[in-house]
Amino acid sequence: MNRRTVLRTATALGAAGITTGIPTHTAAAQAATTASASTAGRRSPLRVQVVLFQGVEELDLAAPYEVLAASDHFTDRDVDVRYVALDGPRTITAAFGTQLRADHRWAPEKADLLIVPGGGYARREDPGVWAEIRRGTLPRALAAAQRPGLTLAALCTGVMLLSAAGVTRGRPCTTHHRAQSDLVEQGGVLKKARVVDDGDLVTAGGVTSGLDLALWLVRRELGVDAALGLESMLEYEARGTVWTS
């Protein structure tokens, strides 16, 4: 049984017991029954994986992770958010030196959303997107990850990893403004929007657009109320236009 569901239901029915004279033990029993029914009818968890690689941008990875992880407080659907690395559980050094631990193995077959941050695109000799494109392993893995039921999402220059994988060719997309010409040259159909939703491919612009990408994904997958609750908690209102197909 989902603990959050029990607590929410018990609180509501407890209040009802106070106002209507229902005995406390009766209210508790009703809470357990209602929570069990809710658990039985609840959809499967929303499974989110955020991809880490050497040189990834700190804000690129943190904003989607925090927004989607916090969305668990604003929906009855469980949300499971994980950092994953292609080479298995490992420590990653991000663009500005932050040490991060990816504790989960690469498993896009067990994800509903696979989010690719950017980082290091301006420094071609340093760890980051360019290094991963040259190595080729991550783009190939992203190309192979495509399947029905999985949404590939990327922000900033993480979109260029999807471009290297051939995912954006012929499809509406966007990226950091300094990489847009490269995206077009590689076959992407550029849309001048903060977030571009083309169904199983969702892309977003520069660094801070990770917030907007994640809020849009929450709205799409979990509903408007969840997105509004997050905006209030974060004290941030979603910016810019979302282009949808």
Which amino acids are annotated catalytic? 156
Extract the tokens encoding 143.
């190309």
> Using CA atoms in the order 51, 53, 56, 60, what is the torsion angle rounded to 10 degrees?
0
Q: In 3D, which of 145, 142, 245 has the Cα closest to residue 199?
A: 245
Task: Please state, in angstroms and rounded to a whole number, the distance separating the CA atoms of residues 107 and 169.
Answer: 24
Residues 152 and 162: their CA atoms lie apart, in Å, by 8
**Based on the number of CB atoms within 10 Å of its own CB, is 114 exposed (0-12), middle (13-18) or buried (19 or more)?**
buried
* Residues 234, 158, 219, 33, CA torsion sign: negative
Retrieve residue 169's tokens. Answer: 């060719």
